[in-house]
Amino acid sequence: MLKTLKDLFDGLLSPLAITQTQGCDDEHALQLATAVLLVEVMRADATFADDERAAVRHALGEKFALSGDEADRLTELAETAAREATDLFAFTSRVDSCWDMPAKLRMIELMWGVAYADGRLTDHERHVMWRLADLLHVPQGAYVHARLRAKQAAGLGDESP
């Protein structure tokens, strides 16, 4: 599997490559789109905390059953793609069209996990999360519940959302 992912990652060096592949059959493009969304939450903070990067790798490992090395490589590729992207539509539209609502809600939870990984939530992280949830067509109530579950999982208590 590592060789297949390496071949894919070598071929997907720009966000444009994601928009050129169609359908939900391209698992690697879906993995990259997902990774970019997670990285975008990480990038919303002024500093990239090691805890946030570890949360991205953990989320990718959980979501796609990747080894540590595969998750690391996918994270690196996603960071490059996120820096080069002019918008997030190519990434959010792939995830939105390929996943059902429970899968998108789990993704929102994982993204909140990245936002909370450093123990604090900035206004910009909150805005990026709202924007991504909106682009994924996640209902507001489900978005709030996913946030509360992630906050509780991060051990940040029951203070107001």
Q: Where are the domains of the chain?
A: 2-153
What's the CATH architecture for 2-153? Orthogonal Bundle (1.10)
Q: What is the pTM of this model?
A: 0.82
H/E element holding 59? helix 50-64
pLDDT for 61-101, tens place per residue?
A: 999 999 999 999 999 999 999 999 988 999 999 999 999 99
Beta-carbon contacts of 23 under 8 Å, excluding residues fewer than 6 positions away, are none
